[in-house]
Amino acid sequence: MRPQTLLPLFVALACSSCLTGCAGVPSIGGINPAALARAPSFPRVPVIPPSGFIFTDVKAPLQTSFEATSFGSRVGRAHTFYVRIPIPNYDISFAFEDASIAKAARKGGITQVKHVDYEMFQVFGLFGKFTTVVYGD
């Protein structure tokens, strides 16, 4: 195969690797700066699975310390939302709502929290939803 025909392939691979290099590396025990840069309202989470620039719909642990962790019989969810309006030279974005553990527990009728996961949904960085998922009794 001639080098000219390989060039687009290498460019595509480099671009994809760059994208996942920025967005695809999971962050364990810390913050992924790239994820924060893309979504300023992204909460502090210990584990960020590889994310997608166009579309992300993933669930991951919000807690990474386990000592005989059970889940209980109830589940409670609470959300925050992020909306960005792409206007040239301006970055107009909104983030609102309450995804606290307390609210998720209250919504699920949970008085004793046993474990917490989270859900992250985003489309093109324009709309994002972060959900705290609380398990307990």
Query: Which positions touch another protein (CB under 8 A)?
Result: 13, 16-26, 28-29, 47, 49-61, 63-71, 115, 117-119, 133, 135
Smallest gap from residue 111 Cβ to another protein (A): 19
We find the least distance from the C-beta atom of residue 22 to another protein, in angstroms, to be: 8
Q: Which is nearer to another protein, 15 or 94 (CB)?
A: 15
- Name the 3-class secondary structure at 114: strand
Nearer to another protein, 70 or 111 (CB): 70
Alpha-carbon gap, residue 83 to 86, rounded angstroms: 10
Distance CA(115)–CA(21), nearest Å, equals: 30
Among candidate residues 40, 18, 46, 47, the one with its CA nearest the CA of residue 125: 40
Question: Which residue number, 16 or 111, has a Cβ lying nearer to another protein?
Answer: 16
Q: How far is the CB of 15 from another protein (least distance, A)?
A: 9
Distance in angstroms (rounded) separating the CA atoms of residues 32 and 27: 5
